[in-house]
Amino acid sequence: MSIESIDSREPHFPKMYMSKGNFNRRILLDKIARKLFLSATLLALLVLGVLIFRISSQSIGWLNIKFLTSNLSIFPEKAGIYGVILGSLWLMLIVAPITLIIGVSTAIYLEEYASKGKVREFIRINISNLAGVPSVIFGLLGLTVFGRLFNLGSSILAGGLTMSLLVLPIVVVASQEAIRAVPNFLRDASYAMGATKWVTMRTVILPVALPGILTGSILALSRAIGETAPLVVLGIPTLILKIPTGIMDDFTALPIQIYYWTLDTVLVPEYINLAAATIIVLLVVLFLMNTTAILIRNKFQRRY
Partner 1 sequence: MVKTIQVRELISKNIKSTKNKYVDKLMPYIFFVAASISIITTIGIVYTLIFDGLKFFREVPLREIFSTRLAPLASNPSFGILPIINGTIITSIIAMCVAIPIGLSTAIYLSEYASDKVRKKIKPLVEVLAGIPTIVYGFFAYSFVTPLLMTIIPDLGAKNALSPGIVMGIMITPLVASLSEDAMNSVPNEMREGALALGSTKLEVTFKVVIPAAISGIIASFVLGISRAVGETMIVVIGSGSSKNFTFDITQSMQTMTAYIVEFTSGDAGSGTLGYYSLYAVGLLLFVFTLLMNLLAQYISRKYREEY
Residues that bind partner 1 (rule: CB under 8 A) add up to a total of: 87
Window 14-43: residues binding partner 1 (CB under 8 A) = 18, 26-27, 29-30, 33-34, 36-38, 40-41, 43
Q: Which of 89, 186, 195, 268 binds partner 1 (CB under 8 A)?
A: 195
* Pick 137 or 246: Cβ nearer partner 1: 137
Residues 150-179 that bind partner 1 (CB under 8 A): 165, 168-169, 172
Binding status of residue 6 toward partner 1 by CB under 8 A: no
Q: What is the DSSP string of the chain?
A: --HHHHHHHTTHHHHHH--HHHHHHHHHHHHHHHHHHHHHHHHHHHHHHHHHHHHHHHHTTT-SHHHHHSPP-SSTTT---HHHHHHHHHHHHHHHHHHHHHHHHHHHIIIIIS-TTHHHHHHHHHHHHHTTS-HHHHHHHIIIIIIIIS--TTBHHHHHHHHHHHHHHHHHHHHHHHHHTS-HHHHHHHHHTT--HHHHIIIIIHHHHHHHHHHHHHHHHHHHHH--HHHHHHT--S---SPP-STTSB---HHHHHHHHHHGGGT-TTHHHHHHHHHHHHHHHHHHHHHHHHHHHHHH----
Q: Which is nearer to partner 1, 241 or 263 (CB)?
A: 263
- Nearest distance from residue 263's CB to partner 1, in Å? 7
What is the phi/psi pair of residue 239, to 5°? Answer: -125, 110
Closer CB to partner 1, residue 144 or residue 245? 144
- Residue 298 CB, nearest distance to partner 1 (Å)? 13
Q: Which is nearer to partner 1, 33 or 246 (CB)?
A: 33
CB of 23 to partner 1, least distance (A): 9
* Nearest distance from C-beta of residue 227 to partner 1, angstroms: 7
Residue whose CB is less far from partner 1, 64 or 129: 129
Among 60, 74, 93, 199, binds partner 1 (CB under 8 A): 199
By CB under 8 A, tell whether 51 contacts partner 1. yes
Q: Does 235 bind partner 1 (CB under 8 A)?
A: yes
Q: Choose which of 63, 108, 158, 178 interacts with partner 1 (CB under 8 A).
A: 108
Quick check: 9 binds partner 1 (CB under 8 A)?
Answer: no
